[in-house]
Structure 1
Amino acid sequence: MKSPVVRWLMYLGVLCGSAAAAPALAAEPLKTLRYIIPAAETGFDPAVARDLYSGHVLQAVFETLYTYDYLARPATLAPLAAAALPQVSADGKTYTIRLKRGILFTPDPAFKGRRRELTVADFVYSWKRLFDPKLASPHAWLFEGKVVGLDKLVADARKTGRLDYDAKVDGFEVVDPYTLRIHLTQTDFNLGMILAHEPTSAVAREVVVAYGDARGDVSSNPVGTGHYKLGQWVRGNRIVLERNTDHLPETWDFKGNGTPDDQRIIAQMKGKSIPQIGRVEISVMVEDQSRWLSFQSGGTDLFWLDGPLAPKALQDGKLHPELAAKGVQLSRLMDPEVTYYYWNMKDPLLGGMSKEKIALRRAIAIAHNIDEEIAIVWNGQAERLDYPIPPGVVGHDPAYKSLLQYDPALANRLLDRFGYKKGKDGWRTLPDGKPLVIRYVSRNEASGVLQAEVWRKTYTSLGIRMENDRMIFSDLLKAEQLCKVQSRNYQWVADYPDGDNFMQLYYGPNIHQNNAGCFADPEFDRMYAQTQKMPAGAERDALYHKMARRIEVTGASRMGYARYRNMLAQPNVLGYKKHPIMKQEWQYIDLGARPVPSSKGSDPG
Structure 2
Amino acid sequence: MPISRRFAALLIAATTAAAAFAAAPPSQAADKVLHTYLTTSETGLDPAVASDLASLSVLENLFDPLLRYDYLQRPVALRGNTAAGLPVTGEHGLTYTFKLRPGIYFTADPAFKGQQRELTAADYVYSLQRLYDPALKSPWLSLFEGKIAGDEALKQNFSYATRIAGLQAIDRYTLRIRLSKPDNNFLFYLATPAAGVVAREVIDAYPGQAGNHPVGTGPFMVGEWKRSDKIVLLANPQASPKPLLDRVEIKIAEEFQGRVLGFLKGDYDYLEQVPESMTDMVISNGKLKSDLAARGMQLTRFPVLQTYYMWMNMEDSVIGGYTKEKVALRRAIALSYNSEEDISLLKKGFALRAESPLPPNVLGYDPAYRSPVSYNKAMAQALLERFGYRQRDADGFRRGPQGEALTLNMHSEATVGGRLRDELWRKNLNAIGLRVAFKTDKKPEIIKASRLGKVQMFESNWIADFPDGDNFYQLLYGPNSGRANYARFNLPAYNQRYEQARALPDSPARQALYGEMNQLIHAYNPWVPLTHPISADIRHPWLKNYVRHPVELTTWRYLDIDVDQRQRALQRQ
TM-score by length of 1: 0.87
Which residue of the partner structure matches residue 302 of structure 1?
270
1:286 equivalent to 2:254? Answer yes
Is this contact kept in 2: 1:148–1:185, CA < 8 A? yes
**Pairs within 5 Å for 1:236-247:** 236-247=228-239
The Cα of 1:332 is off from its aligned counterpart by 2.5
Contact 2:393 2:405 in 1 (8 A): no
RMSD over aligned CA atoms reads 1.7
Contact 2:106–2:118 (CA under 8 A) maintained in structure 1: yes
CA 1:316–1:146 in 2, change beyond 3 Å: closer, same or farther? farther
Counterpart Cα distance in 2 of 1:185 and 1:73? 31
Q: Which residue of 2 is the match for residue 114 of structure 1? A: 115
Question: 1:399 maps to which residue?
Answer: 368
The residue type equivalent to 2:333 in the other structure is I
Flag the 1:424–1:530 CA change in 2: closer, same or farther, 3 A.
Answer: closer
Distance 1:445 1:145 in 2: 40
| Contact 1:36-1:283 at 8 Å conserved across structures | yes
CA separation of 1:26 and 1:555: change in aligned 2, threshold 3 A: closer
Change (3 A) 1:68 1:599: closer
- List aligned pairs for 1:7-406, cutoff 5 A: 29-89=30-90, 91-156=92-157, 163-213=158-208, 217-248=209-240, 250=241, 274-304=242-272, 305-406=274-375
Relative to 1, partners in 2 of residues 1:91 and 1:289: Cα closer, same or farther, differing over 3 Å? same
- How much has 1:595 moved relative to structure 2? 3.6
Query: Equivalents in 2 of 1:424, 1:276: separation in Å?
Result: 64
1:457 and 2:449 aligned: no
Q: Please state how far the C-alpha of 1:309 moved relative to its aligned partner.
A: 2.0
- Structure 1 residues 150 and 354: alpha-carbon distance in aligned structure 2, compared to 1, 3 A threshold: same
- What are the Cα deviations for residues 352-379 of structure 1, in whole angstroms up to 9, with x where unaligned? 1111111111111011112212233222
Distance 1:416 1:567 in 2: 45
Q: Which residue of 2 aligns with 1:589?
A: 559
1:19 corresponds to which residue? none
Change in Cα spacing, 1:27 to 1:302, as seen in structure 2 (3 Å) is closer
Q: CA deviation at 1:73?
A: 1.6
Give the whole-Å Cα distance in 2 for the aligned partners of 1:52 and 1:530.
29
What is the alpha-carbon distance in structure 1 between the residues aligned to residue 234 and residue 393 of structure 2? 64
Give the aligned residue type for 1:208.
Answer: I
Change (3 A) 1:292 1:89: same
- Paired with 1:317 and 1:28, the residues of 2 have a C-alpha distance of 36
CA distance in 2, matches of 1:566, 1:202: 34
Deviations 1:39-82 (A, max 9, x none): 11111111111111111110111111111111112221121111
- Does residue 442 (structure 1) correspond to residue 412 (structure 2)? The answer is yes
Partner of 1:6: none
1:500 counterpart (466, 470, 473): 470
> In structure 2, the residue corresponding to 1:192 is in which secondary structure?
helix
Contact 1:306 1:565 in 2 (8 A): no
3-state SS, counterpart of residue 462 of structure 1:
coil
Q: For the structure 1 residues 312 and 358, does the alpha-carbon distance in structure 2 shift closer, same or farther, using more than 3 Å as the test?
A: same
Shift of 1:106: 0.4
The answer to whether the 8 Å contact 1:576/1:589 transfers is yes
Q: Is the 8 A contact 1:337 1:562 kept in 2?
A: yes
Report percent identity of matched pairs.
Answer: 40
| Larger Cα-atom Rg | 1
| Contiguous gaps of at least 5 residues in structure 2 | 1-25
Deviation at 1:397, TM superposition (A): 0.8
Q: Which structure 1 residue ranges, 5 or more long, are not aligned?
A: 1-24, 157-162, 251-273
1:424 Cα deviation (Å)? 5.6
Separation (CA, whole Å) in 2 of partners of 1:211 and 1:567? 39
**3-state DSSP class of the match of 1:452?**
helix
SS for the counterpart of 2:519 is helix
- How far 1:245 sits from its partner (Å)? 0.1
Alpha-carbon distance between aligned partners in 2 of 1:573 and 1:465, rounded to the nearest angstrom = 48
Q: Is the 8 A contact 1:43 1:49 kept in 2?
A: yes
Q: CA deviation at 1:598?
A: 5.9
1:178 Cα offset (Å): 1.2
TM-score, length of structure 2 as denominator length: 0.92
Q: Which amino acid aligns with 1:110?
A: A
Name 1:474's counterpart in structure 2.
444
Matches within 5 A, 1:537-576: 537-576=507-546
* Counterpart contact for 1:93–1:187, Cα < 8 Å: yes
CA distance in 2, matches of 1:62, 1:540: 34
* Deviation of 1:90 (Å): 5.9
Letter of the structure 1 residue corresponding to residue 238 of structure 2: D
Q: How many residues align?
A: 544
Q: Is the 8 A contact 1:331 1:577 kept in 2?
A: no
Tell me the CA shift for residue 462 of structure 1: 1.5
Amino acid of the residue matched to residue 99 of structure 1? Answer: L
With over 3 angstroms needed to count, the CA separation of the structure-2 counterparts of 1:413 and 1:105, relative to structure 1, is same
Change (3 A) 1:77 1:599: closer
Query: Hey, what's the Cα distance between the residues in 2 that align with 1:597 and 1:98?
Result: 46
2:113 is aligned with what amino acid?
A: K
1:521 matched residue in structure 2: 491
Report if the CA contact (8 A) 2:391-2:403 is conserved. Answer: no
Residues in 2 aligned to 1:429 and 1:28: alpha-carbon distance in whole angstroms: 65
Equivalent residue, structure 2, for 1:10: none
Structure 1 contact 276–587 (Cα < 8 Å) conserved: yes
Q: Is the 8 A contact 1:437 1:465 kept in 2?
A: yes
Shift of the alpha carbon at 1:533? 1.4
Stretches of 4+ moved more than 4 A in 1?
A: 25-28, 597-601
- In 2, are the aligned partners of 1:187 and 1:534 still within 8 Å (CA)? no
2:510 is equivalent to residue 509 of structure 1 = no
